[in-house]
Amino acid sequence: MIHPSHFAAVLLFALCASTVFGITMRDTPPKMVRYGAYCFALFVGSAIVLSWVMFLIAR
Amino acid sequence: MASTPTRPAAGKTQKGFVYLPLIAGWLVPGAGHFLLGKWARGALLAASILAMFILGLAMHGKLYTSASDILSLLSMLGDLGSGLLYFVGRAMGLGAQPTQTTVADYGKVFIVVAGLLNVIAAVDAHNLRTGRKNS
């Protein structure tokens, strides 16, 4: 069994999901790469922002 | 004056059973794109979906086998999106242990999302086959 940290799990999830989103939602390879990177940044960025929001709420 | 076809990929792939890439893509991740000659895309899709499914199992995620309530039913439908991976996993007794740790909960989500992403990939292959998506 593997035990990734929550953040490592977020990175793995974002990488795989962004790859599929990029390929399936755009027509050309450059647009696919751009959209995949955009999705990855949104996944990871929103996870970080929400983590900080929950941290501040819990204090 | 000759006009340039707007959908070259669609014109090239209009022979044979139209739902074959959809069904193949559902059964085996990336197979729908392989059938259409999209080797790189198929390989990336297969790698992503397989990685998510295997990581989910490696985290001791659960493979849903019954629909006792609405959430289990929806999760099982998500798992079924993985096609043969789901049936092989069940046949091998994988993902049968109850969810007891946080990591196993992540794993459960990885497996469900792998199935949902596989459905998206299979539909994309179908759209390429029918010409709804250009390339």
ipTM (interface pTM): 0.92
Q: Could you tell me which residues come within 8 angstroms of residue B3 by beta carbon, excluding any fewer than 6 positions away?
A: none
Say if residue B1's pLDDT is above 60. Answer: no
Q: Distance (Å) from the C-alpha of residue A59 to the closest C-alpha of chain B?
A: 22
Largest CA distance in chain B: 69
B10 pLDDT tier (thresholds 50, 70, 90): very low
Q: In chain B, which residues touch A (CB < 8 A)?
A: 41, 44-45, 47-49, 51-52, 55, 58-60, 102-103, 106, 109-110, 113-114, 117, 120-121, 123-124, 133-135
Q: How far apart are CA A53 and CA A48, in angstroms?
A: 9
Say if residue B57's pLDDT is above 90. Answer: yes
Q: What is the pTM for the complete model shown?
A: 0.89
How many residues in chain B?
135
pLDDT of residue A59: 83
Percent pLDDT > 90 in chain A is 95
